[in-house]
Amino acid sequence: MVGVGAEPQPGASHVVVSLVKKYPNYLIINLDKLDYCASLKNLETVSEKENYKFIQGDICDPDFIKQLFETEKIDIVLHFAAQTHVDLSFWRALEFTYVNVYGTNVLVAAAHEANVEKFVYVSTDEVYGGSTDGEFDESSPKRPTNPYASSKAAAECFVQSYWERYQFPVVITRSSNVYGPHQYPEKVIPKFISLLQQNRKCCIHGSGLQRRNFLYATDVVEAFLTVLKEGKPGEIYNIGTNFEMSIVQLAKELIHLIKKTSSESEMEHWMDYVKDRPTNDLRYPMSSEKMHNLGWRPKVPWKEGIRKTIEWYKENFHNWKNSEKALEPFPVTEPCTQLSNL
């Protein structure tokens, strides 16, 4: 079995830790490039376990990936590896395409050649684009509006083609925003928490009225364990939650919890409104009925999850060498294409 890491999303390291602890008779291989957003400290609880193996490597290196599948007996692939930061994708669209599309193609091709028993591709609710009314189900059309979501949608097509062409047992998941410990603090929840803990203001894009669904890390772990056991080849599963909050609401809640104030004027003091990014979908409402039918539902209440997350960042913000850089505001000028970086 192999877990392919992607640390911007906290679910990856949590899934690896859970698999190592729950399945002592399986060897769990964690393949990670160790990009700027990765931290092996997130895996210290299992690093010395006999059934855990870390391999540093790049899914965009076909020779390396081919050799990996030839030398390791890999039964199941969980493919989390990706560039995932939406803001950054506007300035590095080609890099996102290279890693997320080409890298996925390399990995699924090697897995198919090695006759892997199940290949789970971890996608995102953002492939649907935004919606102001109805919920998306798995049959809804993909209408991505940013380079990150577009690259994930394209990668889905490559993965799905292996099912259509070869009946290779792939499963695709699309999840809501995951939050919790282990997440590199460039994402909105750990970023706001860390800024406030350092007596700095939350940076709000545009009006801040964009709403997001937040799913706690341990809930998404249970979802992936369910997909591993019950997910049917060729199927897509939404992993979502009905809990929804605007970015302004999120900032105010975190200010209340960290700065211990309910005063509207004091809350406004800790918020800094800046120019919005080129596109910013208002909502990503999803129906997760298919997952519910497999027996999964989110369990962790928001108040419990956010409390645990705040406490974790008090002690672990410096788990990444460049964590301070994650708190810098992104540029608000128009993005440009950078061909020289590839």
> Among 196, 222, 178, which residue's Cα sits nearest to residue 313?
196
Strand partners, 239: 175
Walk across the sheet containing 118-124 and list its strands. Answer: 52-56, 28-32, 2-4, 76-79, 118-124, 170-175, 236-239
Asked if 164 contacts 112 with a C-beta cutoff of 8 angstroms, the reply is no
> Among 42, 49, 55, which residue's Cα sits nearest to residue 15?
42
**Token pair of 80, please?**
């989390």
- Based on its alpha-carbon atoms, the radius of gyration of the chain, rounded to whole angstroms, reads 19
Active-site residue (options: 148, 162, 216, 284): 148
Cβ neighbours, 10 Å, residue 290: 17
3-state secondary structure 137-163: CCCCCCCCCCHHHHHHHHHHHHHHHHH
Cα(218)–Cα(337) distance, integer angstroms:
37
121 included as an active-site residue: no
List Cβ neighbours of 75 (8 Å cut-off, separation of 6 or more): 1, 116, 117, 118
Active-site residue (options: 87, 126, 156, 219): 126
In degrees and rounded to multiples of 5, residue 219 shows phi and psi of -70, -40
Active-site residue (options: 7, 87, 125, 138): 125
75 included as an active-site residue: no
102 included as an active-site residue: no
Left if phi > 0, otherwise alpha if psi is -120 to 50, otherwise beta: which for 312? alpha
- DSSP annotation of 323 reads G
Asked if 261 contacts 267 with a C-beta cutoff of 8 angstroms, the reply is yes
Cα(312)–Cα(192) distance, integer angstroms:
14
Catalytic residues: 125-126, 148
